[in-house]
Amino acid sequence: MSTTMTEQFSKGLEDVVAGTTSICTINPDTETLLYRGYSATDLSQNATYEEVAHLLIEGRLPKKRELKRITKLLVQERKIPKPLIKVLKLIPLKSSPMDVLRTSVSFMGALEEARQYSIEDTKQIVYSIMAKLPVALMSWYHLSKGGDLPKVNKNLTYAGRFLQMVTGKDPSPLEEKIMNASLILYAEHELNASTFAARVTVSTLSDIYSALTSGIGTLKGPLHGGANEAAMELILKFKSPQDAITGITSMIEKKEKIMGFGHRVYKKGDGRSVIMKKYAKELAEMKGNQKLFEIAEAVEKTVKEKKGIFPNADFYSAVAYYLLGIPIPLYTPIFVLSRTAGWSAHVLEQLSDNRLIRPRAIYVGQPARDFSPIERR
């Protein structure tokens, strides 16, 4: 018996299978996030972001020479085009940093020759974009604050260089490790909204710049990105753990949404949050700001007790970012810097066996009717 369109329908496409992928999955039994078969949480504690980017984009963990090549590329390709610098200076200082990233990718695409890129060409463009995006973002950000982009230490990792561009200081080994872990944990997450948007775009045989612009625009929406920013703003409202318990209890009673909790896929808890909680605690101890961590933990415990839901990757990532000295408006842009690897992997996979993504809809409008001349309406 054939399946009808009505039987296939699920609002928001929840649990609808839209294709196959070899990039990422969430184990249905353990709810473990896997990148090409490797545990994302294991990778976050043992690999660098450069290694994981290679894994996602090239399909395998790099050998020493391959890691050396991608590391060198991400340093060499950092310089942003002079026309882009002019554009960044024209972007209003009160703009969203997400708009800066979206505009930067789109404009870099406009500077390129309009042609159909091969898969190998696309890979090289991806590494160039990954190298340039942190520089474009932080050039605009420091400009908006009346400052200049700090000089960076080329010997640092991708994560370390980003932290240095934010704070102007060499990160400690622990700070660099935590930033690296966060980038890895945010790098990929199967067919989320922004990844699906990127795949839809490139399924028309559009280019990588257009696909990444679609991804950034989709991630900008508060139902997809922005939860880490909202979570941090909530935590900062409380002066003590007891204040947090009282405040969160009141929010729950009023049926207010608490950002940084719950996930459409994870029902038993988000393993990424466990890792970031551990790192946030270590960082709080190093910085002598255990109070902030204790407030966050009080929020977590209260939500668990009152609603039975767990923190997602955004909650403790926000705490870690705050302790790393990263301004809150940059939290979602970090998601972009990380997820560019995952989006690009999906773009390449889509191109390798492409079919235009064109779903159907169940029509609920008026039945067929005759046209009425304007004088009879």
| Domains along the sequence of the chain with CATH | 24-222+331-352 (1.10.580.10), 227-323 (1.10.230.10)
pLDDT of residue 17: 84
Average pLDDT estimate for 123-150? 96
Q: What sign for the dihedral angle of Cα 50, 318, 274, 339?
A: negative
Give the pair of three-digit tokens for residue 241.
Answer: 């753990």
Provide the token pair at 43.
């990778």
pLDDT in tens, 295-318: 999 999 999 999 999 999 999 999
Q: Is the pLDDT of residue 5 over 70?
A: no
Q: Report the share of the chain in percent with pLDDT over 90.
A: 86
Say if residue 205's pLDDT is above 90.
yes
What would the mean pLDDT of 82-89 be, rounded to a whole number? 96
Q: How far apart (Å, rounded) are the C-alpha atoms in residues 89 and 84?
A: 9
Q: Is the pLDDT of residue 196 over 90?
A: yes
Per-residue pLDDT reduced to its tens digit, 16-51: 888 899 999 998 888 899 999 999 999 999 999 999
Report pLDDT for 1: 46
Q: What is the pLDDT of residue 283?
A: 97
Torsion-angle region of residue 255: left (phi > 0), alpha (psi -120 to 50) or beta?
Answer: left
Centroid of chain to Cα 130: 13
Length of the chain: 377
Candidate from 107-116, 210-219, 268-277, 360-369 with smallest mean pLDDT: 107-116
The encoded tokens of residue 97 equal 């940093």
Query: What is the overall mean pLDDT for the chain?
Result: 94
Residue 4 has pLDDT above 70, yes or no: no
Least confident segment among 146-150, 175-179, 333-337: 146-150
Q: Which of 67-71, 80-84, 258-262, 276-280 has the lowest mean pLDDT?
A: 258-262
Does the pLDDT of residue 367 top 60, yes or no?
yes
Question: What pLDDT, on a 0 to 100 scale, did the predictor assign at position 290?
Answer: 96
Can you tell me the distance from the alpha carbon of 98 to that of 156, in angstroms, rounded to the nearest whole number? Answer: 25
Asked if residue 323 lies in contact with residue 276, where contact means CB atoms within 8 angstroms, the answer is no
Q: Which residues are catalytic?
A: 224, 263, 314
Residue 26: strand pairing partners: 33
Instruction: Report in angstroms the alpha-carbon separations of 245 from 242, 258, 289.
Output: 5, 13, 19
pTM: 0.93
3-state secondary structure of 311: strand
Element (H, E) at 26: strand 24-26
More confident position, 10 or 58: 58
Torsional sign, CA 188, 194, 196, 202 = negative
Query: How confident is the model at residue 112, as a pLDDT?
Result: 86
Q: Which residues contact 349 (CB under 8 A, 6 or more apart)?
A: 21, 22, 23
Amino acid in the structure at residue 29: D
Q: How much is the pLDDT for 9?
A: 76
